[in-house]
A and B are shown apart, each in its own frame.
Chain A
């Protein structure tokens, strides 16, 4: 049971990290290598907020706003000019992540910060005690996925976004303000990064290189996922499970290797990603 919960928790964490990345990649075809940087911006915003006496959940909201605003600036100055060139975007966002890391270092120093979870103690899940906070994180991950799925499939906003994703020139021809959609999507992606960063704060070491260890896996997960939400969930399930199960029974150093290996092989077998297409 403990193992199962660990697996679900790992999946949940991966989902939260990957969701913002997936939204940006899926709609804008932009690989935002600065994603972990925006997560760092989020967690540092939350830390600063709690230091000023804000409650945890208020700090999380502050984190989303902070990252969202940073995303707005980055989109307007940099990403906007690079939409036609995906590989240059990778380079540029990598540069931005370096900038963010260094800026945070200059501002806060190298030392670890702390963010205290709002819930301590354990809850009882089918007879097994498990940290309550992790359960909350799992629940939030599930809620986010559901909300996003409903939004995309059933709303006009969702249709608009899918149109931009499918054929941008034509989207313009039907009157869609493409640059607005793009900017909004990017900001939402960054806000989600901030959310993820703050939520994971109590479980990770908080320093300017925040969440960098998750970059490779998250990146792979999002490419593996293809362009749809169902793929994102599937990818996180697979990679999260492998990570925990492998780490349990073998040398953890190799677990990331195996995760990456599996992701790479899966992508070869199903190049269009793990999506289910309606015929």
Chain B
């Protein structure tokens, strides 16, 4: 399988060109508003509202990676709230009159947003869980939209039944005013979204999308990020729906349907998922094209639409906009050899100046007693007894299959069920186990055996997030430099990451990924570092450097627990060694003591010592 990587192109990385394009388009649309006829004005107005909906879907799908197959529902709720509050219906749902109360219109839009956000919050809370598949949200939203569309006709008093509600638009507002109002709303929403996704907090969104489980160990409350973003997306879509209700005075089951939601998905994917600007242009373009074409060829339009979807999805997978911008960036690069015009370096790592917080001094810092853990019928840990003293470097060694990685997992993830006890003393009283992100925030950092990183985040960006360790990064500022401690820079140098500040996680070679993993674990300045084979894939010279880095960390007060096979490395760095064999610690002590233990030799090296 050839790996296919998205080359950082102008739009998604640099953003200057994208913003320029957008500004140009908005200005053009503003000018266009002066010359359009009344039918076209209405068409464009609807298109702008759909573009807002597309933006909201891009936030949810493109940035956090949650495919909302029922996104139309939120739009529908927005429109329905307006209709329900302002139209007066008889028992069959037929609209008899409209309330003459402007306050109803004013309240309906925020109310719709609130209802949508609340429902979305429930759906999200239900669907996003650490153990479930990330696909689950797609199923739930699909199912929910099917249910909602079916139930729509069951409550005609509110919904207008099969025919829906109509005629409740605000009267007396000229079409042109609506045009500029919705255009302004679109500009506002898009600007806000762009600021958000380009800020430091935007990195958090992308990290959650790229590798949610890893983000957990960097302190991110992944579920909360997804839920909040999902609710925000729903609220924005309801905002657009509410405006639609105000303007057009129409709502029916169609607005909630899977068909409409699919159209939204198409706008976003055709325009370019994860770019904000792409979906906006996609929604406007496709809606306008669709309206035109279905007039001239009503029966064939659906066929053409289907073919169009398929062709675009297959041949322009990034969407029209990113593909066009990739061409453009190639063109520009060829035409202007001036370095710096298309600059890719945005974030640099710098050294942190400043003091360190005082660490607590109690010991031991981690205790395990009688820990048993297994998968189904396979018991891996069979009564582990372990003490980790503060400020020491403890190596856990043992034969393959003894349970070393499992032990680390059980320490770092409070969600795994064990019998026995594990206790942490991290200052502010002791703790038991807790969920990965909370433990990370409390000061325990983990590096995995096989590197799991964020494909679309650069080295510097990954370290920015790691350093934040669960604290929410700025929602608007976009840091140019990422200050990290000297030990992080040590690791970066030693593992060959120097100068690769802006290389994307997805493009790094195996050994470099290992390096980044280690750097990220250290970047949060934890009290306890759990490392699973930190030297895997490194050459001897590099191992020595890592060894000295770890010794320096310990010297500064950090506690390091690491799993290793390289016994030379272990003797070089360890204060104490614990030998794990068949799920139990069979020997603990200084490296010399353990090396001379016959028990260990027999189990580990497989040799019977004469």
Contact = CB atoms under 8 A, between A and B. Distances in A.
Same assembly: yes
Interface of A: 77-78, 81-82, 84-88, 91-92, 94-99, 101-103, 105-106, 168-169, 172, 216, 219-220, 223, 253, 256-257, 260-261, 263-264, 267-268, 271, 277, 279
A91 B303 contact: no
* A-side interface mostly: helix
B378 A279 contact: yes
Given A95-B313, A99-B306, 7 more contacts: A91-B262, A92-B309, A95-B307, A98-B303, A102-B300, A106-B300, A263-B143
Given A87-B67, A220-B143, A82 B302 contact: no
B559 to A, nearest CB: 35
A98 B306 CA distance: 5
B147 A91 contact: no
B512 interface: no
16 contacts: A81-B314, A84-B1, A88-B269, A94-B309, A95-B306, A95-B308, A95-B309, A102-B302, A105-B299, A216-B143, A223-B135, A267-B132, A268-B136, A271-B131, A271-B133, A271-B136
A264 B143 contact: yes
Interface string B359-380: 0000000000000000111100
Contacts of A267: 132, 136, 139
A261 B147 contact: yes
B459 to A, nearest CB: 25
A277 B376 contact: yes
Nearest to A258: B147
B8 to A, nearest CB: 19
Nearest to B143: A260
Interface in B132-156: 132-133, 135-136, 138-140, 142-143, 146-147, 150-151, 154
A153 to B, nearest CB: 20
Interface residues of B, number: 42
A39 B269 CA distance: 28
A267 B132 CA distance: 9
Nearest to A94: B262
A97 B147 CA distance: 21
Nearest to B374: A279
Given A91-B309, A98-B305, A253 B262 contact: no
A219 B142 contact: yes
A260 B131 CA distance: 21
Interface string B1-20: 10010000000000000000
Nearest to A86: B135
Contacts of B308: 95
B317 A88 contact: yes
A92 B303 CA distance: 13
* B-side interface mostly: helix
Top 5 closest pairs, chain A to chain B, by CB:
A98-B306, A95-B309, A102-B303, A99-B306, A95-B310
A216 B146 contact: yes
A231 to B, nearest CB: 14
Given A253-B150, A264-B140, A99 B307 contact: yes
A150 to B, nearest CB: 26
Contacts of B303: 98-99, 102-103, 106
B312 to A, nearest CB: 9
Nearest to A95: B309
B327 interface: no
Contacts of A169: 1
Nearest to A77: B314
Given A223-B139, A277-B376, A257 B307 contact: no
A248 B124 CA distance: 33
A268 to B, nearest CB: 7
A96 B154 contact: no
Interface string B110-146: 0000000000000000110101110110111011001
Contacts of B129: 268, 271
B265 interface: yes
A92 B314 contact: yes
Nearest to B145: A216
Nearest to B266: A91
Contacts of B299: 102, 105-106
B376 A92 contact: no
Given A91-B262, A102-B306, A82 B313 contact: yes
A24 to B, nearest CB: 16
Given A91-B266, A268-B126, A84 B4 contact: yes
Contact of A257 (B142, B151, B266, B314): B151
Which of B138, B139, B151 is most buried by chain A, counting CB atoms within 10 A of its CB? B139
A220 B306 contact: no
Contact of A92 (B132, B138, B313, B378): B313
A168 B310 contact: no
Contacts of B139: 219-220, 223, 264, 267
